[in-house]
Structure 1
Amino acid sequence: MALLMRFFTLVVNVLCLPLHLMEAVGLYKIYKHIFPICLYRLSISYNKKMHDKKLELFRSLSEFKKPGKQLTVLEIGCGTGTNFKYYLAGCKVICTDPNPNFQKYLKTSITENDQLTYEKFLVASGEDMGAIEDESVDAVVCTLVLCSVNSIPQTLREVHRILRPGGGFFFMEHVVADPSTWAYFFQHVLQPVWYYFGDGCEVTRETWKHLEAAGFSDLKLRHVDAPLIFLIKPHIMGYAVK
């Protein structure tokens, strides 16, 4: 099966040569303007299917609020702001995303979730959030982001730097399937084209291994099957404590 997987992956890579060329010459950047439109529609569908899981995940946010203090949440790769409605009412939110074209949709989400206080939106990658001070937030949120960052370990180092001692890192990410399954086979075969469809998204990452090695004092992580298409059905969710 491994040989067959490599063969078909090569075939798909060959079929993607025009896309590879577009990226090499810089034409793929045009998709950065289109992707927020696609993600806005997809995020609505994702939230409907994952609503119960998100309620479960963010229920623990209140544990990281200091008595008498406003909870400060930093969201990495905030996208269209579909997580906002799950945050604790009254908390302060800082948003970051490497794509500035999401701001239009963020304004809509901010208007719809006026129970929150929005501090600022920063154009920044997960690997470099130098504009955020050390140990300055109570919680960091990251959903469907670690699949597309250039370096998961560096992103997690930034999370660790930004979190106050005892702060929480909340995550929900799709991951690679079990190697014995056909889902694993097709994840690897279709990865070359999925990369472009998902603006750098990789469905073959073992993200949980990076979280386990990140040096958090406590890690609450579990694997779940999301009610989604087989390519992104395997998920991990939970939170880590600095």
Structure 2
Amino acid sequence: MAETVQVPNYAYGLGLLAFPLGLFVYSKVFPSHAKKINRKFTAWMCSKMMPRVHAKCIPQKKALFQSFDLLYDSKPLEVLEIGVGPGSNLDFLPAGCNLSCLEPNLENQPYVEQALKDCPDVHFSRFVKGFAEDMREFDDNTFDAVILTFTLCSVRHLQKALSEIKRVLKSGGLFFFMEHVAAPRNSGHRRVQETLDWVWPVVVDGCHLARESWSFVEQTGFTSVKLEHFRIKMLPFLSYGLYGYGVK
């Protein structure tokens, strides 16, 4: 009869600590390979998580993207999506538009290409690796619309990114945004957000919980800004949402 071996409780804790420690050591010994694995994992994780987040915001997304009607004319619209991820907004783009994507992680491109197969009326122009803070690949006054959803939370230099968005928009063009944002000041949820913000960006790819993104949009100098606050059915400290658009 086999003897039962009792595993001390502390052994499980050591195991949990060993995994991230092992990843840290691996990233130092094989930095380029570790970064590649991280990019692939982040893209895969995004493809699983973001459709669920977007599914909780369907009424707000419908209301937001109805504003494309303000841009309709005889020419196909030129649209830029920043931080396109797996392509969760493609179903809401107007038929016949030309889509360009700016994305820091090129591992997302296969997911976007797969999603485009279900959106034959959206014409794919190009997929550019880059960040919103520096869009030198695009000329001034290039796009009729710029879309950015659940991305402002992780932009490193928010005001610089918004200035770049305004630069590449045509006169009268629209900047569409949807984000999770900071809870009301002095609320319990806001205190939780501010506490977690010490570590959350490290764990969740640069995401900040307590950003008052609306104030940055309002200070960018758009001709007009329309925005709405709403609640998302997620964890309480992640449940504060914002959507709207700015007109150049």
| TM over 0.5, shorter chain | yes
Q: Deviations over 1:71-124 (max 9, x none)?
A: 111001111111000111111111110111111211111112111111000001
Matched ranges for 1:73-222 at <5 A: 73-222=79-228
CA distance change for structure 1 residues 18 and 127 in 2, over 3 Å: closer, same or farther? farther
Runs of 4+ in 1 over 4 A off after TM superposition: 24-28
Which SS does the other structure have where 2:113 is aligned?
helix
* CA distance in structure 2 between the partners assigned to 1:18 and 1:189 by the alignment: 24
* Partner amino acid, structure 1, of 2:186: S
* CA distance in structure 1 between the partners assigned to 2:126 and 2:176 by the alignment: 20
* CA distance in structure 2 between the partners assigned to 1:62 and 1:120 by the alignment: 24
* CA distance in structure 1 between the partners assigned to 2:95 and 2:62 by the alignment: 14
Aligned-residue CA RMSD in angstroms?
2.2
Which SS does the other structure have where 2:44 is aligned?
helix
* Partner in structure 2 of residue 229 of structure 1: 235
* CA distance in structure 1 between the partners assigned to 2:222 and 2:231 by the alignment: 25
Residue of structure 2 aligned with 1:40, choices 42, 47, 54: 47
* CA distance in structure 2 between the partners assigned to 1:42 and 1:35 by the alignment: 10
Residue of structure 2 aligned with 1:64, choices 71, 75, 79: 71
* CA distance in structure 2 between the partners assigned to 1:179 and 1:210 by the alignment: 16
Is the CA contact 1:71–1:91 (under 8 Å) kept in the aligned structure 2?
yes
* Partner in structure 1 of residue 62 of structure 2: 55
Q: Percent identity?
A: 32
* Partner in structure 2 of residue 7 of structure 1: none
Higher mean alpha-carbon deviation, 133-142 vs 39-48, is at 39-48
Alignment coverage as a number of residue pairs: 225
* Partner in structure 2 of residue 9 of structure 1: none
- TM normalised by structure 2 equals 0.84
User: Any unmatched runs of 5+ in structure 2?
Assistant: 1-19
Is the CA contact 1:76–1:142 (under 8 Å) kept in the aligned structure 2?
yes
Shift of 1:33: 2.1
Higher mean alpha-carbon deviation, 143-152 vs 42-51, is at 42-51
- TM normalised by structure 1 equals 0.86
* CA distance in structure 1 between the partners assigned to 2:112 and 2:204 by the alignment: 19
Q: Deviations over 1:124-151 (max 9, x none)?
A: 1011111111101100000011111111
Higher mean alpha-carbon deviation, 182-191 vs 95-104, is at 182-191
* CA distance in structure 2 between the partners assigned to 1:68 and 1:49 by the alignment: 34
Which SS does the other structure have where 2:112 is aligned?
helix
User: Any unmatched runs of 5+ in structure 1?
Assistant: 1-16
Q: Deviations over 1:17-56 (max 9, x none)?
A: 969x77x956873422211111111112112211111111
* Partner in structure 2 of residue 14 of structure 1: none
CA distance change for structure 1 residues 18 and 155 in 2, over 3 Å: closer, same or farther? farther
* CA distance in structure 1 between the partners assigned to 2:21 and 2:209 by the alignment: 21
Which SS does the other structure have where 1:138 is aligned?
strand
* Partner amino acid, structure 2, of 1:144: F
* Partner amino acid, structure 1, of 2:69: S
Is the CA contact 1:32–1:199 (under 8 Å) kept in the aligned structure 2?
no
